């Protein structure tokens, strides 16, 4: 079934434009409530969490009304990280969790995504049932069956304790000066406390949300802000989260940023000290150096389509525990069911504490290949896979690169663009090769 509303990460768009409008959120809540009511739960209940966007209040109220009209009880957590919703949904034995967030996007975007009762992304089949129900007329259960709504006053505290439980009791962060950039997002009142309660001297930035400043010049999408803050405060490390705190980047004392590929390598190499790691899942965009480093460690590696949803699917299919994207969305399924920026940062800090090594030392076995990405405008409906000249040039470049490089060509999902990415040990070679391929189809 072709999806009309749900994308790879829920429903997302510009606030005030369909589907991110109050009446759609109302119908979505009712439709989702109907699907949950049919699932067999005697009294379905859902948790609604959100990030700090001003539009979250509007969408929260509409969703709450829709669920109530369908006879579903609603728990409201207020602003809280996306992974906290996944955790609390499972911990409270609820039917589903709902997150109102557009993650790393600016404040005037928003979105709605669902977790199942076990803390995983909602299965495709259930999303399809919700889409079908949205198209039906909206009704309302009898008054005695309406859903009730209540606030969870200790949601942040519960999640803070959960994050701390992912860090070994035998270790602490005492003596560590740490900058924590919360992106003026959902982790503004959780992440600094997690690191502080584990003993770190925390300097919090990006922790004053006003509804309009989420991800604005701060957070994981603006890592230069973290670099400057680490140097300014003479910190040992810096941690940058995004608006809903499901991804993380880390800076060392010199302000050098470590991306998701590097952090994933540190975590997996540390796990190998006391357990077997069968495999790691990356994406089509994961650096070739990570794949080769995993091979040297004797760890399998698989590439999924871009998007944490597909990384998770690959892990589940293969029975693996670790994966992620270079953007900093990391999955440690031995700690959580979903990507969690705070918990991922704690796994890196655990490796540093256990070994006494710096991030630079821990990543000595991983030298990332330079990547060049060229966006080529093409006619709509362009058959790039059937373009003989493009295939010929790609094959020629791949033959030249051999095992020391990689070519990836893929269309944009939203624009008439063809994305040409070339990796090579030499940055100039990657640039020339990407331009060569792009010139074949440039209009």
Pick from 5, 211, 27: nearest CA to 111: 5
End-of-domain residue from the set 153, 174, 194: 153
H/E segment holding residue 400: helix 388-401
CB neighbour list of residue 17: distance below 8 Å, 6 or more residues apart: none
Q: What is the DSSP string of 189-214?
A: GTHHHHHHHTT-EEEEES----SS-T
Three-state DSSP class for residue 44? coil
In a domain, 289, yes or no: no
* pLDDT tens digits, 369-424: 999 999 999 888 889 999 999 999 999 999 999 988 999 998 876 678 899 999 99
C-alpha 94: how far from chain center: 22
The residues annotated with a catalytic role in the active site are 103
End-of-domain residue from the set 153, 172, 200: 153
DSSP symbol at 404: G
Three-state DSSP class for residue 406? strand
End-of-domain residue from the set 153, 182, 198: 153
Helices (H), ranges, 70-154: 82-91, 124-134
DSSP symbol at 244: T
pTM: 0.93
Strands 109-116 and 11-14: antiparallel
In a domain, 75, yes or no: yes
Name the stretches of the chain with pLDDT < 50.
Answer: none
In a domain, 382, yes or no: yes
Residue 359's pLDDT is what? 98
Pick from 323, 320, 317, 257: nearest CA to 290: 323
Give how many domains the chain has, as a whole number: 2
Contact by Cβ (8 Å): 180, 204 = yes
H/E segment holding residue 45: strand 45-50
Q: Whole domain around residue 112: which residue ranges?
A: 11-153
- What's the per-residue H, E or C state across 280-349? EEEECCCCHHHHHHHHHCCCEEEEECCCHHHHHHHHHHHCCCEEECCCCCEEECCCCCCCCHHHHHHHHH
Q: How far, in Å, CA of 423 to CA of 405, rounded?
A: 5
CATH code at position 398: 3.30.310.50
In a domain, 173, yes or no: no
């Amino acid at each position: 079934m072709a999806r009309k509303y749900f994308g790879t990460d829920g429903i997302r768009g510009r606030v005030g434009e369909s589907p991110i409008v109050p009446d759609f959120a109302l119908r979505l809540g009712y439709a989702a409530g109907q699907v949950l009511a049919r699932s067999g739960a005697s009294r379905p209940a859902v948790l609604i969490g959100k990030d700090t966007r001003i539009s979250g209040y509007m969408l929260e109220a509409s969703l709450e009304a829709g669920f109530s009209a369908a006879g579903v009880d609603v728990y409201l957590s207020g602003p809280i990280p996306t992974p906290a919703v996944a955790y609390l949904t499972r911990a409270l034995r609820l039917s589903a969790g709902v997150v109102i967030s557009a993650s790393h996007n600016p404040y005037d975007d928003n979105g709605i995504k669902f977790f199942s009762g076990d803390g995983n992304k909602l299965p495709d089949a259930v999303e399809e049932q919700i889409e079908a129900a949205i198209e039906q007329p909206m009704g309302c259960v009898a008054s005695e069956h309406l859903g009730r709504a209540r606030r969870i006053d200790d949601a942040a505290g519960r999640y803070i304790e959960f994050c701390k439980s992912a860090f070994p009791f035998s270790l602490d962060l005492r003596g560590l000066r740490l900058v924590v950039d919360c992106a003026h997002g959902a982790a503004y009142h959780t992440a600094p406390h997690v690191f502080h309660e584990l003993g770190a001297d925390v300097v919090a930035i990006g922790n004053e949300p006003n509804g309009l400043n989420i991800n604005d010049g701060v957070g994981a999408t603006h890592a230069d802000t973290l670099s400057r803050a680490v140097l300014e405060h003479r910190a040992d490390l810096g941690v940058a989260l995004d608006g809903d705190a499901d991804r993380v980047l880390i800076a060392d004392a010199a302000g050098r940023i470590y991306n998701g590929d590097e952090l994933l390598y540190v975590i997996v190499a540390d796990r190998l000290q006391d357990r077997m790691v069968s495999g790691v899942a990356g994406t089509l965009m994961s650096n070739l150096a990570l794949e080769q480093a995993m091979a040297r460690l004797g760890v399998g590696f698989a590439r999924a389509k871009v998007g944490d949803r597909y990384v998770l699917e690959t892990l589940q299919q293969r029975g693996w525990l670790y994966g992620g994207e270079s953007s900093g969305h990391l999955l440690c399924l031995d700690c959580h069911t979903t990507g969690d920026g705070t918990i991922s940062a704690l796994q890196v800090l655990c490796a540093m504490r256990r070994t006494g090594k710096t991030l630079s030392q821990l990543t000595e076995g991983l030298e990332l290949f330079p990547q060049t990405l060229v966006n080529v405008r093409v006619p709509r409906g362009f058959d790039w896979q059937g373009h003989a000249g493009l295939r010929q040039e790609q094959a020629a470049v791949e033959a030249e690169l051999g095992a020391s490089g990689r070519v990836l060509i893929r269309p944009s999902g939203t624009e008439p663009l063809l994305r040409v990415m070339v990796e090579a040990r030499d940055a100039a070679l990657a640039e020339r090769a990407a331009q060569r391929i792009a010139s074949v189809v440039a209009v």
